[in-house]
Chains A and B, each alone.
Chain A
Amino acid sequence: MSLHDHAPSHAHEEGHGDGHATHHPNYVKIYLILLVLLVISILGPELEIRIVTLVTAFGVACIKAWMVAKNFMHITMAPRYVLYLVATTLVFMLLFFAGTAPDVMKFSGTRWEKTPVAHVQAAPHGDAAHH
């Protein structure tokens, strides 16, 4: 079929159909920054202050995530809608959390209550037994 004879020449465009090559930052430098951040997140809990641990763990994780997305995945160089797409899915997850957490984090209501997770090693009721 003549239709498909064009395909190989078109296939050439596949690599960079948007017409410009990716700008490559100094990846090793970014990698080193990421390692420093990793060390910070390990050292954070040593201070044994809850708020510091949370910031060094999750704040640093967010920074690391953005650095990987921006520099390794080149999300800012892709068309803008990619960023919106990813942001939208994150917002949906926040929505899910906001709608679900009030129920799941509630332990009792009218004529019902939930057993907190006991700090034990084995299942108390032998429910694990059936397969």
Chain B
Amino acid sequence: MSASARPIATTRSTAGMPTGRLAVWWVIASEIVIFGGLLGSYIMFRLSHDSFAAEAANTNMYVGAFNTWVLLTSSLFAVLGHKAAEEGNGPKAAKMLYLTFGGGLIFLLVKTWEWSEKISHGHTLSSSTFFSFYYTAAGLHALHVIAGMVIMAIVAQTAKRNLELHRVELIGIYWHFVDLVWIFLFPLLYIAK
């Protein structure tokens, strides 16, 4: 939205927080219940079926750990970008966002490799309920990673020209949330065996 067309409504903040940030928190609240419903169902199955533990032994914890590290690092870049944006340094913020973007890309590449390896070993979406959850949960998360990367690329484009710098923080908050989901997916899918 061009700045000149922004309604006055957008610029008010009776709730003590800029509109954009407030909305991002509401997005996160509604995302928590989406992942909550899925992971809650997974935990119920995991606790009641012994075979899940045997199936979970097929996942590679080190790949999961590497991806956790990648996302944590990208989160660091995102928050450094926020700091740079707040100091008014648009180009630096954009650079940080590109680094974050790169983190997301590495995450997806590792995921792709990991999944192709799993599928080649016969662990597909329908091979067992554990792997159904494995692909559904990680896939839903990966969709969020992709969405975050697309938005980040757009935000970085404007931030580079020192425009709409508040957006850097907003995409950062969303990205940290995506990171948070992975922080829980990692022990749920990879560690608990």
Chain A interface (Cβ < 8 Å from any Cβ of B): 3-4, 6-8, 10-11, 13-18, 21-22, 24, 27-28, 31, 34-35, 38, 41-42, 44-45, 53-54, 57-58, 60-61, 64-65, 68-69, 71-73, 78-79, 81-82, 85-86, 88-90, 92-93, 96-97, 100-101, 104-105, 107, 116-123, 128
Q: Considering the chains assembled together, what is the distance between the CA atoms of A29 and B16 in angstroms? A: 30
Q: Considering the chains assembled together, what is the distance between the CA atoms of A22 and B9 in angstroms? A: 24
B92: Cβ under 8 A from any A Cβ: no
Classify chain B's interface size: 35 or more
B93: Cβ under 8 A from any A Cβ: no
B154: Cβ under 8 A from any A Cβ: no
Query: Which residues between 99 and 123 of chain B lie within 8 Å of chain A, taking CB atoms?
Result: 122-123
B11 engages A27 (CB within 8 Å)? no
7 smallest CB-CB distances across A and B, nearest first, come from: A10-B11, A93-B36, A57-B187, A17-B13, A119-B51, A15-B166, A105-B48
A86 engages B13 (CB within 8 Å)? no
Kindly count the residue-residue contacts between A and B in the assembled complex, taking CB atoms under 8 Å apart. Answer: 192
Distance in angstroms from A13 CB to nearest chain B CB is 6
Distance in angstroms from B129 CB to nearest chain A CB is 5
Interface of B is mostly: helix
A42 engages B61 (CB within 8 Å)? yes
A18 engages B13 (CB within 8 Å)? yes
B126: Cβ under 8 A from any A Cβ: yes
Q: Considering the chains assembled together, what is the distance between the CA atoms of A64 and B62 in angstroms? A: 18
B193 engages A45 (CB within 8 Å)? yes
B11 engages A7 (CB within 8 Å)? yes
10 contacts between A and B (CB under 8 A): A27-B76, A31-B72, A44-B191, A64-B183, A68-B183, A69-B176, A69-B180, A73-B177, A92-B33, A117-B49
